[in-house]
Amino acid sequence: MRFSEFKVSYAIAVGGAKSIALIGHTQCGMVNLMSKKTAFIQGLVNYAGWERESAEDHFNHYAPIFEIGNEVDFVLSETKRLCLRYPKIQVAPLLYRVEDNLLYLVQEKYRKTKSNKLN
């Protein structure tokens, strides 16, 4: 979300968006991303024609930015961050479970008070 934040700001400021539905999903490839390093590098070499060193540098640069611990914690932490960034905007943390093809509202670990501060 951080690399899309300007787009979110635009949607709020110019488009008048009043709510954000933040949807994570299970079986996310960004969970435990470091375990996929070899496959990632080899895939860029084999399928995209990259040099191994360039592919490794690419992975090492971006993997720490995009890796997440687990899907639920990520959705909740991004929800909290967005609520702090945009205090007047309602943010709904949702999780799409690939296993059952359903969308769930994630139980929040915090709540908004009337003053829009998080407890």
Mean pLDDT by 10 residues, the chain (119 residues): 87 97 95 95 98 98 92 94 96 96 83 42
Residues 94/75, Cβ–Cβ less than 8 Å:
yes
Same domain, 41 and 90: no
pTM here is: 0.78
Averaged confidence pLDDT in the chain? 90
- What is the number of structural domains in the chain? 2
Same domain, 53 and 83: no
Q: What is the tens place of the pLDDT at every residue in 13-46?
A: 999 999 999 999 999 999 999 999 999 999 999 9
Nearest to 30 by CA among 59, 5, 63, 52: 63
Same domain, 36 and 62: yes
DSSP 23-70: EEESS-TTBTGGGGHHHHHHHHHHHH---HHHHHHHHHHHHHHH-BS-
Distance from C-alpha of 55 to C-alpha of 10, rounded to nearest angstrom = 33
**32 Ramachandran zone, left/alpha/beta (phi>0; psi -120 to 50):** left
